[in-house]
Chains A and B, each alone.
Chain A
Amino acid sequence: MLDFPLWKRISLWAITLILALMAIPSIASLSGVNLPSWADEPQINLGLDLAGGSHILLEADPSQVAAQRLETMEESVRSLLSDADPRIRIGDVSTANQRLSFMLEDAGEIDRAREILTPLINGNGLVREWNMTVMDGNRMVLTQTEQGLEQAVTDAMDSATDVVRRRIDDLGTREPTIIRQGDTRIVVQVPGLEDPQQLKDLLGQTARLEFKLVDANALPSDIAQGVANPGSELVPYAQDGDFAGQFEAVRRLGGIRGDSLTNAQQSFDQQTNEPVVSITFDAQGGARFAELSTQNVGDRFAIILDDEVISAPTFNEPILSGSAQISGGFTTESANALAISLRSGALPVDLTIIEERTVGPDLGRDSIVAGALAMGIGSLLVIVLMIVTYGRFGIYATIALGFNVLMVLGIMAFMKTTLTLPGIAGFVLTIGAAVDANVLINERIREERKRGRRVVAAVENGYREASRAIYDANITNFIAGVLLFLFGSGPVRGFAVVLIIGLFTSVFTAVTLTRMWVAGWLREKRPTEINV
C-alpha cells in the first residue's frame, strides 16, 4: 500500500501536473489575463448562462410537410395530365383526408394516366414515395407512403437547418451553434447577442413568398362571408399592415413561388421614399414573371408572404427586367429582415420557437464573479477545517484539493465540455465532498492508532479499510451523475459533467496522491508517533 517505486511517483506527478496545467489558460482568461497565443489553449467552454447569449429550440410540424407535398402533387398531376397528348381530362379533385383523389372523365384513359404518373410516384427511386390505387374503375387515389413522408421531413429539416445557418451568418454573429436534434428539431445557440428579438424574428419567419393573381370575379359580399369561388381561396392581409383584418380572394394555382430568387435587398421606393424590398428573379423565375405580367396587364396580383397578403398591386405593364419591388408598410428593420430571409431562401417548413433561454452578458459576468467569490470563501473554510482537525494529514488533503480543482478544470478544458452556472454549484459540491475521502482515511488512521497499531500499519490499514467505502460511495454518486446527464438538459447537464469528472479526480487526488505524499514522509522521517 505504501510502496511507491520511482516510476510510479514520476507517472503520478506527470498526470497531475499535465492535467492541472491544462486549467491555466481557462483560469487566465476567466480572470481577464491575456496569455501569449501558444499558451492560450485549451480553453474551457462557457455555457450561455455564463457567457451570455441565446439558446433557442425550434420545432417543425411534420403534418405541414405532408400538406405541402400534397399540394405540390396536385399541381404536378394537373399539369402532367393536361400536357399529355391527347390531354387527359380530370374532375372532382380533392385533397381531403391527406390523400389526392380525382376522377378521369374517360375511364378508358386509366392505363395511360397510370403510365404518365408512375415517375412521380417513385420519386428519386430510393424509396417509393406514393401509393396509387384505382377505385370504381375511374377514380385514382394517391396516398403518401410512410418512408416517402419520412424522407421528405428529413430533407425539409436538412434544408431548414441550412437556411437557419445562412440567416444567422447574415446577422454577423460570432460562433453560432446550429444542430439538428431528433427528427423535427433544431437547436440554435448564439453567444453574446445584443438583440435576441431580431434573431427570433428572423428564425420565426418562414419567408415563403408567393405571387398569385387576384380573383377579379370575387364578390365583396362573398369575401365578407368567407366564401371563395371554385379555384380561388381567401388569404388574410398581414396583421401589422394597413388592411389588417381584411381578406383577398386569389387564384389557387398558376402563381409564382419566391424560391426562384437570386437576390433580395432592402432599399427605398424612389417616389414615396418608403422602405421596400427589391428582389431579383433567376432566369426561369424571371421568364415566368414576365409571362404572368404580360398576360395579365391591368389585373391585380397579390404578394403573399407566409400565407398573408402584404400588398396587391396592379400589373401596369409587362415586367421583363426580372426584378421587382415589394412594398407594404415596412419599416427599415422589417424590410431588412425580410430581405435577409428571402436571400437565405424560404424555410421549407414553419419553425416554431418552443424554448428560449437568453442571458444578458452582464448577468453572466456577475454570476461568474459571485460564483468564484463563493467558491474561494468555501474552499478557505474547508481548508481551515481540515488543517485544524487533521494537522499534517489535513495539509496533504488541502494540497490534493487544490490539484483536484485544477484537474477538473483542466479535463473540462481538454474535453471541450461546457461550464454552466449549475456547474459552479457542482464545483463547490465537489470541493466539499472531495475531502470526504480524506476524512474517512484520517478517521480510520486515528482509530487504528487508538487500537494500538504502529504508525506505518495504522496508515496502511487506514487507507485499505477506508477505500472500500470510498469506492462504493463514488460509484453510486457516478450512477446518479450519469442519470442526471442522460435525462438532464442544458445547464443541468453542466452540473452533472462537473460532478462526474470531480468523482474521478477526487479519488485520484484524495486517495492516491495523498497516499504517495504520506508514504514519502513516513519513509523519510520514520516517525514513531503521528498527530492525526
Chain B
Amino acid sequence: MKLLKLVPDDTNIKFLKWRVPFYVVSLLLIAASWALVMTKGLNYGVDFAGGQEITGTFLEEPEAPIGELRDTLGTLGLGDPVIQRFGEVNQVSIRVRLPESAEGDPAAANRIATQIIDTVTEQHPDFRVDSNNTVSGKVSGEFREKSVYALLFAMLAIAAYIWIRFEWQFGVGALFALFHDVSLTLGMFALFQMEFSLQIIAAILAIIGYSLNDTIVVYDRIRENLKKYRKMPLPELLDLSVNETLARTVMTSLTLLVALLPLLLFGPASLFGMVAAIVLGVFVGTYSSIYMAAPILIWLGVTSHSFVPEETVAEKQDRKARGEI
C-alpha cells in the first residue's frame, strides 16, 4: 500500500530567511491585539462581568420572538439586554450585564434573573428555561482574578521548566511564543467581540499546552542538531531542524483539526466559543513555534556551546592522540 505523505521528503524551505519581516509583522499583530483589547475591550460573559445568561426554548412557537423580547426586557431598566438566537430557531439566549447600581449588593444578580424569567414566562407560558447562569459581581471579580493568575503562573511555570530542560534562551523563546499566542487569541476575541468566558480561559491554557508541544519538538531537534553539526551556522541549523520536524508539525496540527472540527460544527452550542478558540490556537501555535520560538534563538545568542562545553586544548590533544581527529 502506498502511504500518504503530507509533506514531501527532504523539504528545504528557507523559513528563517524571512525571519525579520515575519517578526516585524508578528510584533505589529501583538501590538494591534493589545490595542484592540485596550480600546474595544473584551466582551466579557457573565463569568467575568457578572449578571445573567439565560437560555430557553419557546416550545410552541416556530420562531423565538427576539424583537419582542428586546422590547419587553428593555423596559425593565436593566440596561441593554443581549438577546440572540442560540442553537435552534426557537431557542434564545438572554444576556444581561449586572447594572452598576448592583455593586455591593450580592443578592441583586439573583433577583434580576428571577425578574427576567418571570417577565418572559408571563407573556410566553410555553417558554422553557434550559439554563440559567447567574453570577454576582463578587464572584465574577474572583473569577477574573483567578484567571489572570492561572494564565500568568502557567506561562511562567512552563518557561521555567523549559529553561531547566534546555537553556535560558529556550525558556525565553518559549515564553515569547506563548505570549504571542495568548495576545493574538485575546486580540481576536476583542476584534470579533466574541463572548469571553471561563471556558475561553480553559481554551487558552489548552492552546498554551499544544503550542508548546510544537515548540518543544522543534527545540528538541535544534538541541540534537546543535550537538551533531557543530560547525553549521545557526540560521541554517534552525532551518534544518524546522524542516526535519515539518512533517510531524503538519500531521499533528491536522489530527487536532480533524478531531476538533466536528465538535465545532455539530457539537453543543455552548461549547462553540471554546472550540473555536482552540482551533484558532492550533494555527497560531503552529506558526509561533516556527516563526517566533526558533528565530529568537539567533538573537539571544544560542551557539553549539550552549549544550556542549567548548573543548579545552588538552582535551583536543587527547582526542588527537586517540586518533579521533
Determine which of B110, B130, B258 lies in contact with A353 in the assembled complex, contact meaning CB atoms within 8 Å. B110
Within 8 A of B (CB), among A356-408: 356-360, 362-363, 366-367, 370-371, 373-375, 377-379, 381-382, 385-386, 388-391
**CB-based contact B255/A435 at 8 Å:** yes
Q: Is B229 among interface residues, defined by CB-CB distance under 8 A? A: no
Q: Residues 142-154 of chain B: 1 if any A CB is under 8 Å from the residue's CB, otherwise 0?
A: 0100110110011
Within B102-129, which residues are at the interface with A (CB < 8 Å)?
106-107, 109-110, 113-114, 117, 128-129
A121 at the interface (CB under 8 A from B): no
Please give the distance in Å from A350's CB to the nearest CB on chain B.
Answer: 9
Q: Closest Cβ of chain B: how far from A205's Cβ, in Å?
A: 13
Q: Determine if B190 is an interface residue (Cβ-Cβ < 8 Å).
A: no
Q: Which residues of A contact B4 (CB under 8 A)?
A: 388-389
Bound Cα distance A374, B212 (Å): 26
Judge if B158 is at the interface, Cβ distance under 8 Å.
Answer: yes
Q: How far is the CB of A335 from chain B (nearest CB, A)?
A: 20
User: Which residues of chain B come closer than 8 Å to A378, judged between CB atoms?
Assistant: 258-263
Interface residues in B46-77 by Cβ distance below 8 A to A read 55, 57
B interface residues, tally (CB under 8 Å): 79
A59's closest neighbor in chain B, by CB? B106
Binds B, one of A142-150, A247-255, A482-490: A482-490
B255 touches which of A353, A360, A436, A450 (Cβ 8 Å): A436
A358 to B201, CA, bound (A): 21
> Which residue of the partner chain, among B107, B132, B254, B263, contacts A352 with CB atoms under 8 Å?
B107
B319 within 8 A of A: no
Judge if A495 is at the interface, Cβ distance under 8 Å: yes
Q: Is A531 an interface residue (CB 8 A)?
A: yes
| Complex Cα–Cα for A57 and B107 (A) | 11
Chain A residues with CB under 8 Å of B138's CB are 59, 354
Interchain CB contact (< 8 A) of A447 among B131, B244, B260:
B244
Chain A nearest CB, measured from B288 CB (Å): 15
- Mask of A477-520 contacts with B, CB within 8 angstroms, 1/0: 10111011011110110011001000000000000000000000
Q: Please tell me if the beta carbons of B256 and A358 are within 8 angstroms of each other in the complex.
A: no
B157 within 8 A of A: yes
Q: Is A429 an interface residue (CB 8 A)?
A: yes
Q: Does any Cβ of A come within 8 Å of B94's Cβ?
A: no
Among B22-30, B230-238, B264-272, B290-298, the stretch in contact with A: B264-272
**In the complex, per-residue mask of A30-65: 1 if CB is within 8 Å of any chain B CB, else 0:** 000000000000000000010000000101000000
Q: Are A196 and B132 in contact (CB under 8 A)?
A: yes
Assess whether B209 is in contact with A481, with CB atoms less than 8 Å apart: yes
Q: Which of A378, A435, A440 has the most CB of B within 10 A?
A: A378
Within 8 Å CB of B128, what residues of A?
360, 362
Q: Assess whether A433 is in contact with B161, with CB atoms less than 8 Å apart.
A: no
In the complex, the chain A residue whose C-beta lies closest to that of B161 is A476
The secondary-structure label for the interface of chain A is: helix
When distances are taken between beta carbons in the complex, the residues of chain A under 8 Å from B106 are 59, 352, 354
- A439: chain B residues at CB < 8 Å are 248, 251-252, 255
> A480 and B209 in contact (CB under 8 A), knowing A363-B55, A382-B255, A469-B220?
yes
Question: Does A20 count as interface, using CB distance less than 8 angstroms?
Answer: no
Once the chains bind, are A468 and B1 in contact (CB under 8 Å)?
no
How far, in whole Å, are A469 and B170 apart by their CA atoms in the complex?
14
For the complex, give the distance between the alpha carbons of A531 and B201 in Å. 42
Query: Does B3 lie at the interface of the complex (its beta carbon under 8 Å from any beta carbon of A)?
Result: yes
Contacts of A431 in B (CB 8 A): 259
Check if B259 sits within 8 Å of A429, measured CB to CB.
yes
- Beta-carbon contact of B157 and A479 below 8 Å: yes
Residue A197 is within 8 A (CB to CB) of chain B in the complex: yes
Contact flag A473-B216 (CB < 8 Å), given A360-B129, A391-B1:
yes
**Taking each of A354, A379, A433, which has the highest tally of chain B beta carbons within 10 Å of its own beta carbon?**
A354
Interface string of B165-193 (1 = CB under 8 A from A): 10000000000000000000000000000
Once A353-B107, A374-B263, A429-B259 are accepted as A-B contacts, the answer to whether A390 and B3 lie under 8 Å apart by CB is yes
Nearest neighbor of A369 in chain B, beta-carbon distance: B268
A532 at the interface (CB under 8 A from B): yes
Which of these, A371, A379, A429, contacts B206 with CB under 8 Å? Answer: A429
Asked if B302 is an interface residue, CB under 8 A from chain A, the answer is no
| A472 CB-CB contact with B under 8 Å | yes
Binding site for A on B (CB under 8 A): 1, 3-6, 9, 55, 57, 106-107, 109-110, 113-114, 117, 128-136, 138-139, 143, 146-147, 149-150, 153-154, 157-158, 161-162, 165, 198-199, 201-202, 205-206, 208-210, 212-213, 216-217, 220-221, 224, 244-245, 247-248, 251-252, 254-263, 265-268, 270-271, 274-275, 278
Interface residues of chain A, those whose CB is within 8 Å of chain B, are: 49, 57, 59, 196-197, 200, 204, 352-360, 362-363, 366-367, 370-371, 373-375, 377-379, 381-382, 385-386, 388-391, 421-422, 424-425, 428-429, 431-433, 435-436, 439-440, 443, 446-447, 450, 465, 468-469, 472-473, 475-477, 479-481, 483-484, 486-489, 491-492, 495-496, 499, 531-532
Q: List 17 extra interface pairs beyond A377-B266, A484-B150, CB under 8 A.
A: A204-B110, A363-B130, A385-B255, A429-B210, A429-B278, A432-B257, A439-B252, A443-B245, A446-B247, A469-B216, A469-B221, A472-B220, A477-B210, A479-B154, A491-B199, A492-B198, A496-B202
